Structure 1
Amino acid sequence: MTTLQYDGTYEGWLTAVFDIYAYKLEDVVFNKPGASSGLMFGSTHRVITDETKGERVWLGLQKRLSADGLKRLYKTFLADFEKPEETMWHFVRHVFNNSHNVEEDYSHPAVWEIRKTAKRVDREVHRMEAFVRFKLTRDHLYYAIIEPDCDVLSLISNHFESRFADQRWLIYDARRRYGIYYNLENVTTVAIDFHQGRATSNLIAEISDEREEFYQDLWRSYFKSVTIAARKNLRLQLQHMPKRYWKHLTEKMSKG
């Protein structure tokens, strides 16, 4: 068995697929930076990300998959569950082994898993678009901290760029320690190493606009006033807004 050591990017994974065919590798597993070193027995193939190789694989997939099929494959990569690359590889191999489109071939486990995983990512995208709560810093930067299950920043950037085109903002993924920043012209990816704890809380308090606490209180009051106690359904609320998101929601934060 061969461990494919790649850089953890989608382009790197596409390059790895190219190498599988180029070197006729069998029984492969994929390994990202920071993961365990691989198998105790077997060989390691180090993948050097190559734009040309990745593009050849991508063009081959474009000829065999619809635009939605390509998106589902990419979303599976962003799902961030255990070893999505293996599922993606089994799917891609099935695609290349057939002359017809296999997107609806649900008898194949990888096809069904890709479809199911893409829907899971879509749900996470909708939740992030609905649950992101911005706060204002003293230099008029709106920032939000999120911790999504899936790596969805690249999928939500267009939504926030079009919706908040007239203000600078930063959305930071605390789980993956990077963010997307909009400077009134375009969105860029930024790496920030925040550390959880009192120091971070103090820093946020220092950089926050003095009116921010007032606006948060106003929003909490509004949320409370529109809540009809008799119609409160905690089970339904948890279904649409899981508790793991609450700590970054203004209306769910207790003052102080």
Structure 2
Amino acid sequence: MPAKGKHRRTKSISLTRGIAVAGTGAAVLVLPVLGATTAGAAQGVPAAKSAAAPATYVVAQGDSLVKIAREHSLSGGWKKLYQDNRATVGDNPGLIHPGIKLTLGTKSPAKPAATRASAERADRSEQRTALTAAPAKKTYTNNLDGWIKESLDIMAKHGIPGSYEGIHRNIMRESSGNPLAINNWDSNAVAGTPSKGLLQVIDPTFKAYHVAGTSMNSYDPVANITAACNYAAAKYGSIDNVNGAY
């Protein structure tokens, strides 16, 4: 019976391999060579990730900037979202229309669960702030009523007196409400400066009493009314005091 021997598992050598080099003598020189699995092998450097294009979001019915910023955990909240998309949203952050596309910025770090309730309360407070941050731009009808009302609002900002009734009364006498009316027969016309527009203003007077923020076209209804009322205020105290040719 063969003698029992000790059995040992052959060691796996993964760190080095030997290359035998014959020398001039009897000895053989073994040179270690590092392999790919060597513990000291240089680690690979991950390729730099290219910057991802900003995400976009299409506004749905019932959305708000606060809601979108919260649901997408956007850094900077709704204010940053509004700042990034102001050209698309417009001047009122509290009013966004379904169908418009918003660019979403970077995400905020995840909030601990314990702070979510307070964060949502803060979001609701910010929503109320957004709704009142910028009033919706006032609109006017494109007719005599709308022109007079828009002129009155501009006049109020510039401290120009006048009432709806006073303006309307003088317009009906001067042009019957026709913004393109022109007088080609009186002395002003003979002098080369015919009276124009709703309140029949000659060009030199229009230019002298033109109100900033209105059109430079004397036929423009709002610009014509506002300039005429500015002139009437300087000469008569108010357009309300004008009851005939002026």
TM interval, shorter chain, is under 0.3
- Give the number of the structure whose residues are more often strand, by fraction: 1
Bigger Rg, which one:
2
- Give the number of the structure whose residues are more often helix, by fraction: 1
TM-score (norm 1): 0.22
TM-score (norm 2): 0.22
